[in-house]
Chain A
Amino acid sequence: MIAQEVFYAIWVSLKTSGLAALVASFLAVPAALFLASRDFRGKRLVLLVNQTWMAAPTVVIGLLFYALLSRTGPFGGLGILYTQTAMTVGQIFLILPLIVGFSYTALRQVDRRARTTALTLGASRRQAGLVVLREAKFPLLVAVLAGFARAVSEVGIAMMLGGNIRGETRNITTTIALETAKGEFTTGVVLGAILLALTLGINFAVIVGFRSGD
């Protein structure tokens, strides 16, 4: 296996999963803030559905989106099946409940007085919400990183929606699956180590960067 292919697979993994983590965070964190700060009828059901969705196997999500994006599916006209876009979309839906769940727990642990203090000091409701997010920034960061880790390490969605096309949608996990199927266990293990090292590096860089900016 040539180095260029390995680098490209790494690039595809980082790009699709990084983008998925970013988009999912923008959707999940406000949703978690809403859930954490309001009581409404059906909230427990929403949390239960979210909890269940967290446990959804990647192949099930892959299959669902395959049905939606395939030529005969309702979104077949978009023509994005077997592209990096399809992989990103699938991964967003995979990690969305995870980031919602972790963020919800993080935000519930923020003292309720943080919001009322911000309000009485003259913050608008939006600014008070941002204060709550700021008070929970480290656990929220962990939630986003956990989402990224889940996306970068999954194989089912990448395989079913990306198609494992060399030089196009092949990423680290689908390469590992392929190499293992070919009996190239050593290459699989090396690629696995590369994946872990990358995740470690990203976690370290983000947390250190966040702390220094604090």
Chain B
Amino acid sequence: MTDAVYSLQDVRFAYPRGPSPFSLELDALRLDHGEILALVGPNGAGKTTLLTLLAFLNRPSGGRLIFLGRDPWQDETRALQARRQAVLVTHHPYLFKGTISDNLAFGLEVRDIPEDERPARIGEALDLVELPGWEKRSVSGLSAGQAQRVALARALALRPAVLLLDEPTANIDAGLGLRMEAVLREVSRNTGMTVVFSTHNFSQASRLADDILYLSDGRRVEFGHENCFSGRAETDGRQSWIEPRPGLRVVFPGEVRGRVTCVINPADIRVLPAGRAAEAGNGPNVFAGRVTRMETTEAGLALVRVSGDLTFRVTLPVGELDASGISLSRPVLLKFEPGSVDIAGTRP
């Protein structure tokens, strides 16, 4: 069996002089060659912190982080070798002053890639992000989206073993974002590159990733297949639906056909005591169930699991939970708008 790309065991990290008491604690995580992992969670959940640990920019304050069978933090030489194999593209990437080509050449220079090989690698990477022939342009005046694509090309030109992306398509329009996803999937498949990316977009996570790690307050939240349902879509032309169980419809807008996987963001679901059925109305996407699990997080969020018609996980502010009088094993109603349903994948 080959070594895992990453193997994390009880990894902890706290910012030494940070203003907040935030800490990240991860029991176990294993990532293999060619695997794509999505990190999903609200702001401040620890997604970026985890990415900086995986990029060896921060050193864990406890636990074991093994990279390709070795401890990268044993000495500075190993840390440097590890950093050269795991490249991070940040949410607001920094581009060095100069031309786009200067930026793409930097990582190649420090790796001593022969000078005659560099133009081809730079050109190839720019082609992948749909900026062909942009080598000589100055980085000043690039839009946020273009800067993000240059930063992605800068990382791809290095052909790293691991690509770490912090909200990679946040500044890019939807169509281009989908094409960038396809590029990442193809590069990963062809080269065995492992990809870890953070996103707020559930459907992107489901579309692109082999696995999703949901983080909240620096801790893993076991999510399983809750809020994620599949079925053959039917449509009336205006809206479509699947029936994960006979008679139970998850409705979403637009005309969709074929086999569909849809995901509902836990923050988009309203939870009401069963006695307030009138508030839920007769609209679509109303489900009944009982609260089977409740947790509160330090960020003031409550995580509620409701099992009944279907199993859902809901996140809501603790204050809202207290005000509505929802408690463990109480019957509740769940409601979400058709527009809150993300279509994660369709097949004919």
Chain A interface residues toward B at CB < 8 A: 39, 111, 113-114, 116-125, 127, 131, 134-135
Q: Establish whether residues B57 and A121, one from each chain, have CB atoms under 8 Å apart when the complex forms.
A: no
Q: What 8 pairs across the A-B complex have the smallest Cβ distances?
A: A113-B94, A121-B107, A122-B84, A120-B88, A117-B94, A122-B110, A123-B110, A122-B107
Give the A-B contact count at a CB cut-off of 8 A: 50
Closest Cβ–Cβ distance, residue B117 to chain A (whole Å): 16
Q: What residues on A are CB-neighbors of B110 within 8 Å?
A: 121-124, 127
Q: Which chain B residues in 121-146 approach chain A with CB under 8 Å? A: none
- Given the interface contacts A39-B17, A113-B94, does A118 sit within 8 Å of B106 by beta carbon? yes
Q: Which of A39, A113, A123 contacts B90 (CB 8 A)?
A: A113
The answer, yes or no, to whether B93 is at the interface (CB within 8 Å) is yes
Q: Establish whether residues A125 and B87, one from each chain, have CB atoms under 8 Å apart when the complex forms.
A: no
Question: In the complex, what distance in Å separates the CA atom of A134 from the CA atom of B96?
Answer: 9
Task: Mark B76-95 against chain A: 1 for CB-CB distance below 8 A, else 0.
Answer: 10001001100110101110
Q: Which of B76, B92, B97, B158 contacts A121 (CB 8 A)?
A: B158
Question: In the complex, what distance in Å separates the CA atom of A119 from the CA atom of B80?
Answer: 8
Q: What residues on B are CB-neighbors of A131 within 8 Å?
A: 96, 106
Q: Establish whether residues A120 and B83, one from each chain, have CB atoms under 8 Å apart when the complex forms.
A: yes
Starting from the known contacts A39-B17, A120-B87, A121-B87, 12 additional A-B residue pairs (CB-CB under 8 Å) come to A113-B90, A113-B93, A113-B94, A120-B57, A120-B88, A121-B106, A121-B107, A121-B110, A122-B111, A122-B158, A123-B106, A135-B96
Q: Establish whether residues B94 and A122, one from each chain, have CB atoms under 8 Å apart when the complex forms.
A: no
Question: In the complex, what distance in Å separates the CA atom of A127 from the CA atom of B87?
Answer: 16
The answer, yes or no, to whether B55 is at the interface (CB within 8 Å) is yes
Closest Cβ–Cβ distance, residue A113 to chain B (whole Å): 4
Q: Establish whether residues A111 and B154, one from each chain, have CB atoms under 8 Å apart when the complex forms.
A: no
Instruction: Pull 22 A–B residue pairs with CB atoms less than 8 Å apart, ordered by A.
Output: A39-B17, A113-B90, A113-B92, A113-B94, A114-B94, A114-B96, A116-B90, A117-B93, A118-B106, A119-B57, A120-B57, A121-B106, A121-B110, A122-B80, A122-B83, A122-B84, A122-B87, A122-B158, A123-B110, A125-B76, A127-B110, A131-B106
Task: Mark B220-264 against chain A: 1 for CB-CB distance below 8 A, else 0.
Answer: 000000000000000000000000000000000000000000000
Across the two chains, which residue of chain A brings its CB closest to B55? A120
- Given the interface contacts A121-B106, A127-B110, A135-B97, does A116 sit within 8 Å of B17 by beta carbon? no
Across the two chains, which residue of chain A brings its CB closest to B88? A120
Closest Cβ–Cβ distance, residue B82 to chain A (whole Å): 10
Closest Cβ–Cβ distance, residue B110 to chain A (whole Å): 5
Closest Cβ–Cβ distance, residue A107 to chain B (whole Å): 14
Across the two chains, which residue of chain B brings its CB closest to A39? B17
Question: In the complex, what distance in Å separates the CA atom of A127 from the CA atom of B112?
Answer: 13
Task: Mark B55-71 against chain A: 1 for CB-CB distance below 8 A, else 0.
Answer: 10100000000000000
Q: Which chain B residues in 290-317 approach chain A with CB under 8 Å? A: none
- Given the interface contacts A113-B90, A125-B76, does A119 sit within 8 Å of B83 by beta carbon? yes
Closest Cβ–Cβ distance, residue A149 to chain B (whole Å): 26
Q: What residues on B are CB-neighbors of A114 within 8 Å?
A: 94, 96
Closest Cβ–Cβ distance, residue A144 to chain B (whole Å): 19
Question: In the complex, what distance in Å separates the CA atom of A39 from the CA atom of B15?
Answer: 14
Q: What residues on B are CB-neighbors of A119 within 8 Å?
A: 57, 83
Q: What residues on A are CB-neighbors of B88 within 8 Å?
A: 120
Q: Establish whether residues B97 and A116, one from each chain, have CB atoms under 8 Å apart when the complex forms.
A: no
Of A111, A114, A119, A120, which is in contact with the most chain B CB atoms at under 10 Å from its CB? A120
Closest Cβ–Cβ distance, residue B165 to chain A (whole Å): 12
- Given the interface contacts A121-B106, A135-B96, does A116 sit within 8 Å of B80 by beta carbon? no
Q: What residues on B are CB-neighbors of A125 within 8 Å?
A: 76
Question: In the complex, what distance in Å separates the CA atom of A158 from the CA atom of B84?
Answer: 52
Q: What residues on B are CB-neighbors of A121 within 8 Å?
A: 87, 106-107, 110, 154-155, 158
- Given the interface contacts A116-B57, A122-B110, does A111 sit within 8 Å of B94 by beta carbon? yes
Closest Cβ–Cβ distance, residue A86 to chain B (whole Å): 41
Closest Cβ–Cβ distance, residue A210 to chain B (whole Å): 13
Of B88, B154, B158, which is in contact with the most chain A CB atoms at under 10 Å from its CB? B88
Across the two chains, which residue of chain A brings its CB closest to B95? A117
Q: What residues on A are CB-neighbors of B17 within 8 Å?
A: 39
Q: What residues on B are CB-neighbors of A118 within 8 Å?
A: 106
Q: What residues on A are CB-neighbors of B96 within 8 Å?
A: 114, 117, 131, 134-135
Across the two chains, which residue of chain B brings its CB closest to A115? B94
Question: In the complex, what distance in Å separates the CA atom of A134 from the CA atom of B110?
Answer: 15
Across the two chains, which residue of chain B brings its CB closest to A131? B96
Q: Establish whether residues B80 and A124, one from each chain, have CB atoms under 8 Å apart when the complex forms.
A: yes
Question: In the complex, what distance in Å separates the CA atom of A124 from the CA atom of B92?
Answer: 22
Question: In the complex, what distance in Å separates the CA atom of A127 from the CA atom of B83?
Answer: 13
Question: In the complex, what distance in Å separates the CA atom of A134 from the CA atom of B103?
Answer: 13
Across the two chains, which residue of chain B brings its CB closest to A118? B106
Across the two chains, which residue of chain A brings its CB closest to B94? A113
Question: In the complex, what distance in Å separates the CA atom of A182 from the CA atom of B107?
Answer: 63
Question: In the complex, what distance in Å separates the CA atom of A192 from the CA atom of B80?
Answer: 54
Q: What residues on A are CB-neighbors of B93 within 8 Å?
A: 113, 117
Closest Cβ–Cβ distance, residue B13 to chain A (whole Å): 16
